[in-house]
Chain A
Amino acid sequence: MYQSLYRKYRPRNFSEVLGQNHIVRTLKNQIKTGRIGHAYLFCGTRGTGKTSVAKIFAKAVNCPNSVEGEPCNRCQICESANNNSLIDIIEIDAASNNSVDDVRELRDNIIYAPSICKYKVYIIDEVHMLSGSAFNALLKTLEEPPSHAIFILATTEPNKIPATILSRCQRFDFKRIPSKVISQNIGKIAKDSNINIENRAIAMIARHGNGSMRDAISILEQCVSYNDVLTYDDVCDILGTVNDDTLYTLVKRINDRNAKEVINQIDKLMLYGIDVSNLIKAMLSFLRDIVIYKTCGTESEEILETEINDKILKASEFDMSFLSNAIEKLIDLQGKIRYAQSPRILFEITVLKLMNPEISPDIDSILDRIKKLENRLNNVKVAFNGENDAGIILKKDVVKSEKGVEDDEVDADEIKNKHVKITESTEKSDKIDVNEVFKEVLNIIKKDRPMIFSFLSLGKPYLKDGNFMIEYPKEHEFYKDELNKVENKDYIKDVIKKLTGIDYIVNVVVKKNENDELIEAVKKYFGDVEIID
């Protein structure tokens, strides 16, 4: 009877488990030292070895001849465990037995001692599917299990499991298997089953496995009957994906705005029978690889879990704003495409929009256009600067030759300079920061005439038509009157003059409230008229 590859190559002892060394080592040590817990939780994505490790562990704790924590796979117990016929290893699929009654049945049976083994091992797969009350029923058993029972809960979604259960289990996180490890194993299996396959094709399969060994092996199995010698292109065909070379050319043509070629290429790909949404997906992941490589550099291999190939290296010359615009558009397209009547047209239009940002008015395209403009401007600038430099050199030469003549004019120049300085200083005074000046003024007055200081410090200074205004709110009108006395006003004026060198007219006023201001404005406009409320 034909057995599918992933069942045939399911690991039978700990050393065959790949990519989970930390878990295997811990479990083996626990068996060796006899520190076996009574509840384990295995979590991780599909195909990372949860069920396999659970089965091996169940076998190993019961195997009488286990060496260094490994099951012997020869004794009666190991053999019947391998045939799934051992009655003390109970596998429960929680997805289909998820009710309270199922858990109650388990509770009723668990008190009986194991029949031939040392431990009764319950493997509960997909445990997150249990109902809420089933979890509660299970919790009571997990809290005080009989000493001969071991629970192994396996799940892909640990976040769906109640915290009360989590806290009672030893939790092991199964990591995604690195694609290098998958490649090695696929290579081994292929050799073992006499499958001729290119190394590049193996890498492609491993990448598509996405960290899951079972997925990768399934893909291999799918490919086996395709051709005598499996090549990279064959695998791409079967997976319906587009290879990196094609993607690179496509993206490059889009970047170069070679619309004719792009449409031609898309047409070819369609003829080839490639699905539009697959193509978009492939393009997106290719663009993403480039962007991540551009931002993260060397760390990107770890993030992407693949090696950076020469295509990505080459593609990293593309401009970031182009890339992110393209990603943005394609993401958008990916969402729309499933409702589209004719996905191909939608795709072509999007690609055209990418090439001619003029068509679409959204912000990303505009940014893209600005970027392009800036580049062109820079080019122009560079050219222009070159000219300028030449001009300056020329001028200098002229200056040198004319130096003799200019000597007479030096005096005049000096005078001019002085003049400039003078105007500058007056200009400066206009631009004085009133608040700064006011602070200084206050500092001086504080020592001199503390009385005036205390009045003045509440005011708010500003400049108006060259007058130094000090403003008070209505309720402080008293201060205004006091400061408006001639001797005080003159004193302030002197201090300001001493400080800034400018003869300001000092005016102390009361801030008008809005109504007054309005009335004044009206009066200004209509002349002095009587206003009736």
Chain B
Amino acid sequence: MGQSPWRLALRRLRRDRVSLAFGALFVVLVLGALAAPLWASAVADRDPDRTNETGQIEVDGSKVDVVSLDGVPIGPQWRGEYFLGADSNGRDVMVRLLYGARNSLLIGLAAAFLTTLLATLVGLVAGYFGRWVDALARSTLDVIWAFPVILLGVALGTALAVGGLKIGPLELGAGSMTISVLVIAIVYVPYMARPIRGEVLALREREFVEAARAQGAGPLRMMAGELLPNLTSTIVVFAPLMVANAILLEAALSFLGVGVVPPDPSWGNMIDAGVERLVTAPHLAIAPGLMLVLTVLALNVFGDGVRDAFDPRSSAAWGTRRP
């Protein structure tokens, strides 16, 4: 009995315990982000923006300033309130970390989804129609490709951070998180659209496409019904890595000040604020950094397992990472 490639791949993935464990870790991190309000209200009893510069809490029976007179915030307490300590405004780092996770993960997932959508569309249309459509798409991708990822992100971020975005009816205010999503999504499109286009070009020569054409299938049915189903394994292999890249780029942009705008927390802007206080309060930079590394590592290890399961010989997806 023959088995479909999908079932084979899923079976291979099920046997890969390490990859599955890291995939589960990512799910746990997402659940943690979803539970942020729960932690804020039930455990820490602080909301993410509530400052507390002059307050005191009880440590080992004596009262201690949350932020000392010379501006040093209290370190991790490892219990309910101030589990991971306070920041320089007396806000609860653990609560901000969880709310920051929501922003970082949401932007990462949304941007990766948008990249996948755009790249699939561009790859399909360019590969299917060929000729001048392909030439146009290819040169557009080449031009975007010519920019270093981070620099293009910074350029778009800077330009939009001052004026906001306005294309036709679409209008976004400066500092909107949707801007970050758009910037990150667009920057990564060529890295995924190029291999998809290549695959479409190869698929177009296959017999089943020929057969569909002979039956009189129009372009839409051809692309959606015949070509797209054959691209799913490529898309599945790319998806986790795109999410990882998007989360990292969001953190980098926020670190440089063109991503999520404080006081809204994101791992990137928390690291940015923490790096300046490494001497007195190292937990401010280490906590969000570890969360970021853990999330991206989980996605990368899981993504590597998915790649091994679906397409053992390919290293194409590794080409998606450029500074």
Answer whether A and B are interacting partners: no
B residues engaging A (CB < 8 A)? Answer: none
